[in-house]
Amino acid sequence: MTHFMKPHFLDQEQKSALETATERLDVGDEKSWRIFIIALDYELTEYDKLHRRERPKTEVSDDNLEKIAAAAGALSDMLQQLPKSSYTKLSQQLSEADDFARQYSGRYLSALQDEVERVSVACRSKAVIHHGLGVERSDQHLVAMIVKTYRECFEREPLEDDRALFLDLLGEIIGICGLDIEGDLSVLLDVSQREP
């Protein structure tokens, strides 16, 4: 955390809204909410100073990813709706056509359907589309700092038992603070933990 500058990112209305959000989500007690919001103000002040002014936001569109998302989503839906008799027949045909004589059961098709769905979700995520690679580095860094602040203030683990709660709180923080962060927050949370 940065302790050498006066925090100025959050106004009183935002602080009150964050306090209401943490209370509603039942995160910690009143003392820990206030400490968290003060620490968050420091982190957002630093974020604003280092990152937000250095990059103009440009919208990146990738038609191929959108087409893959649509095709993968359609394939996943069709596999899910396949009648059992067709499921069995397709499994047999895959087994017969395999050059290595591997056997394909219904479990293979279920796993395939899950993987195709993951591809569809990943392609739809704006977080994946940015720069054609991953999320914005500054957003990744900010979320990593919020994770650390959450751990320190609430003495709870945001990535395991508190994951759903933390994602709700992260969404509240982004909305209340007017942060220009896009994409799937779950993806962003995972990517933020890969920082060196």
148-186 per-position pLDDT tens digit: 999 898 888 888 778 889 999 999 998 998 887 777 788
Q: Name the amino acid, one letter, at 191.
A: V
CA distances from residue 61 to 122, 127, 131, 146, 186 in whole angstroms, order as listed: 14, 11, 9, 28, 21
Q: What is the pTM of this model?
A: 0.55
The pLDDT assigned to 7 comes to 59
Mean pLDDT of the chain: 79
DSSP annotation of 132? G
105-136 per-position pLDDT tens digit: 878 888 888 888 888 877 776 444 443 345 57
Domain positions in the chain: 12-55+136-192, 63-129
Q: Where are the alpha helices (DSSP H) in the chain?
A: 12-24, 30-47, 63-81, 84-97, 106-124, 126-129, 137-154, 163-177, 185-192
DSSP annotation of 161? T
Helix (H) and strand (E) counts for the chain?
A: 9, 0
Half-sphere exposure of 116 (CA within 13 A, CB side): 17
Smallest CA-to-CA distance from 48 within 130, 138, 131 is with 138
- In this predicted structure, the answer to whether residue 19 has a pLDDT above a threshold of 60 is yes
Instruction: Report the distance separating Cα 117 and Cα 51, nearest Å.
Output: 34
> Beta-carbon neighbour count of residue 167 at 10 Å?
16
Taking a C-beta distance cutoff of 8 angstroms, is the pair 121, 185 a contact?
A: no
Hey, what are 75's tokens? 């394939």
Better pLDDT: 54 or 188? 188
